[in-house]
Amino acid sequence: MKKLILFFILTLIQHCAFGQSYQLAVLKYNGGGDYYANPTALPNLIKFCNSELGMHIAKEVPYVAVGSPDLFDYPFIHMTGHGNVVFSKAELLNLRTYLLAGGFLHIDDNYGMDGFVRAELKKVFPEATLTELPSTHPIFNQRFHFPNGLPKIHEHDAKPPQAFGIVIEGRLVCLYTYQTDLSDGWEDPQVHNDPPEKRRQALQMGSNIIQYVFSN
């Protein structure tokens, strides 16, 4: 485990030192949920981060299966969808090992996956609690400031947007954004016809997440 953590740290140091590009990925999972939803979301967020934050993230965004050893090639994994999520025992172990080794998982409920993903996360970390992050958390105060916490991009159930996290040994390893539809806001403008200010809020919050992950 310590070797895996050291590998993650050394890889990120090398990228930062030499301006090399690293890659993010979208999580492919079983259960029938549409893991492939919002195909333009992460590419647009990457473009925004590279432009606004001077980052060097590769434009290509692959899908990586939750049980694949390739998971460890990516320091940041994004997950979304509208429906069911099922992890096998082997997949649970692989995801747990990845997160404990220094990887990060961002889950954005695209409306309809809440109950399913909460149940699977509890299997990944039975010893941890998915806890709401306060508006004072550093993730809301990176390059862009969100004093009221997570922005609301789409309306579904008239519920407030919430950000939940799993913290292991003082490190946020998983962020779950709920009732916000951040990744919808990252998509191409014509997909949802969101107002420009909403789209920019979504991209700014998304870049805060990326910046926080790579600076902690």
Q: Where are the domains of the chain?
A: 2-215
> SS3 for 211?
helix
Predicted confidence (pLDDT) per residue in 173-213, tens digit? 999 999 999 999 999 988 878 899 999 999 999 999 999 99
Buried/exposed code over 97-121 (b: 16+ C-beta within 10 A; e: otherwise) = ebbbbbbbbbbbbbbebeebbbebb
Res. 8 pLDDT band, cuts 50 70 90: low
pLDDT tops 50 at residue 14: no
Angle at 133 between CA 129 and CA 139, to 5 degrees: 125
Identity at 172, one-letter amino acid code: L
2-215 placed in CATH 3.30.1490.20: no
- Looking at the DSSP bridge assignments, the partners of residue 75 are none
pLDDT tops 90 at residue 5: no
